[in-house]
Structure 1
Amino acid sequence: MKLQISGKQIDLSESLQNQVSTHLDAIIEKYFDKAIDAKVTFSKERSFFTCDINVYVGNGFLLRGEGEGTDAIAAFDDAAEHIAKRLRRYHKRISNHARTLSMSDAINEMAKEYILKQDLDKADAQQNDNEANLPTNQVDSHTQIITEYPTEIVQLNIDEALMRFDLADQNLLIFRNKANNQISILYKRMDGNISWIDTSAAQKR
Structure 2
Amino acid sequence: MNITVNAKHITLTDAIRDYSEKKIQRIAKYFDDKMDIHVNLNVEKNMHIAEIFVNVKGMFLKGIEKSEDMYASIDMAVDKIERQVVKYKEKLISRKNIENRESMEDLKLSVYDYNEEHAIEEPTVVISKQIPAKPMDIEEAIMQMDLMNKNFFVFRNAENSEINVVYKRDDGKVGIIEP
Q: TM-score, normalised by structure 1?
A: 0.46
Secondary structure in 1 matching 2:46:
coil
Superposition map of 1:101-120 within 5 A: 101=103
Say if 2:56 is the partner of 1:57: yes
Q: TM-score, normalised by structure 2?
A: 0.52
The answer as to whether partners of 1:35 and 1:57 remain within 8 angstroms in 2 is yes
- 1: CA distance, partners of 2:24 / 2:166: 27
RMSD of the alignment, in Å?
3.6
Q: 1:24 to 1:35 in 2, by over 3 A?
A: farther
Say if 2:94 is the partner of 1:92: no
State the Cα distance separating 1:70 from its structure 2 match: 1.2
Task: State the partner residue of 1:68.
Answer: 66
The answer as to whether partners of 1:8 and 1:42 remain within 8 angstroms in 2 is yes
Say if 2:21 is the partner of 1:13: no
- 1: CA distance, partners of 2:101 / 2:38: 25
- 1: CA distance, partners of 2:29 / 2:55: 13
Secondary structure in 2 matching 1:33:
coil
Residue-by-residue CA offset, 1:34-80 (whole Å, 9 max, x unaligned): 3421110011011211011111112x111111001112111111211
Q: Which runs of 5+ in 2 are unaligned?
A: 107-151, 153-161, 169-176
Residue type of the alignment partner of 1:48: M
Residue type of the alignment partner of 1:5: V
Residue-by-residue CA offset, 1:102-150 (whole Å, 9 max, x unaligned): 657xxxxxxxxxxxxxxxxxxxxxxxxxxxxxxxxxxxxxxxxxxxxxx
Residue type of the alignment partner of 1:100: E
- 2: CA distance, partners of 1:188 / 1:74: 33
The answer as to whether partners of 2:2 and 2:37 remain within 8 angstroms in 1 is yes
Secondary structure in 2 matching 1:4:
strand
Task: State the partner residue of 2:75.
Answer: 77
Secondary structure in 2 matching 1:3:
strand
Identity of aligned residues (%): 21
Q: 1:14 to 1:90 in 2, by over 3 A?
A: same
